[in-house]
Amino acid sequence: MQRILFVCLGNICRSPMAEFIMRDMLAQQGLATRINVDSAGTSGWHDGEDMHAGTAKILDSSGINHTGFHSSKVKAIDFEYFDYLIAMDGDNLHQLEKLFGHHPDKMFVITDLVPELGYQGVPDPYFTNDFKETQNLLQAACQVLLQRFWVRFL
């Protein structure tokens, strides 16, 4: 079983959106039982809360189930448990590296998977209010992630 942890600042917008987009893609490919996906935040500001209403709305509009979500903070054990800790932007990656060191094969910014899109990270819709932009970036990056790391399962 492979394990992915998507990481953003508060774990209410970008990382839960990535988590549920990826879960949906895995389910469509019949891989939901082979790859475990979760999300967390570096701040812990929203621990135990539901995702942002804008994230829930964009997932609902795409028919993506997101039940059972509760925000959580990155834990020390996450580095050992997860195969990949994928940050939404450079600041999130920097916080992960402060906790776990520099491990570019295991921890990286998700937009590094789609350099042709010209983003240095996923803009935070908490501030931009552009949840559709976030969804488009994450769908593109998750598709590449699925193809790059788990093509052997397809």
Single out the residue of 35, 36, 67 nearest to residue 51, CA to CA.
Answer: 67
Q: Which of 24, 38, 89, 124 is catalytic?
A: 124
Q: Which of 13, 14, 23, 89 is catalytic?
A: 14
14 is catalytic: yes
Q: Which of 8, 13, 38, 78 is catalytic?
A: 8
148 is catalytic: no
3 is catalytic: no
Residues involved in catalysis: 8, 14, 124
